[in-house]
Amino acid sequence: MKHRERGATTVEFALGLLLFLTFLLAVTDLGRMLFTWNAAAEATRAGARYAVVCDDTTQSAAVLSRMQLLLPQITSASVTWAPAGCVPSTCEGVTVAVTGLNYQWISPVAGVAARAAVAMPAFSTSLPRERMRQDPNSATACS
C-alpha cells in the first residue's frame, strides 16, 4: 500500500507551492501598485513645488521632466496657473495634474483575469505662488 502512495507527497507539495508562489506574487504586485500610486502623488507635489518656486508660466515641459525624475511612467502633466492668463508677477497659484497613468500587473492572479493595464485615478496638487527662485533649501532649485 505504501508503494502506491509514494508520489502523493510530491504532488501535494507542488500544488501547495504553486498556490504559495501565486499568493506571494500577488502581494508583491499589490505593493508595486501602491508604490506607483504614492510616487504619482509625490511627483505631482514635486512638480507643483517646482512650478511655484521657479515661477515660470511657460515651461510646463520643465515641470514634467522634474516629475519624471520620480516616476518615469508619467508621459503628460497639465500645469494650470490661477488666474488664467496671468504672468509670473500676477499669478496666485498653480495646479499640477497627472491623468492617464496606467499600471500593468505582472502577477498571474491579475494577469489571467485582465491582461490590460489598470487605469489609475487622476492625481492633482495645488500650491500658492511663492517668491521666484527663492527656495531656502536649495540654491539650484530652478537650474
User: pTM above the 0.85 mark?
Assistant: no
DSSP H/E element including 126: strand 123-128
pLDDT tens per residue across span 83-116:
888 887 788 888 999 999 988 888 766 555 556 6
Q: Per-residue pLDDT tens for 118-138?
A: 889 999 999 887 765 565 666
The position carrying cell 500593468 is: 104
Q: Is the Cβ–Cβ distance between 24 and 108 less than 8 Å?
A: no
Which helix (H) or strand (E) is 63 found in, with range? Answer: helix 60-68
pLDDT tens, residue by residue, 69-81: 999 999 989 998 8
CB of 84 within 8 A of CB of 69? no
Phi, psi angles (nearest 5°) of residue 131: -65, 140
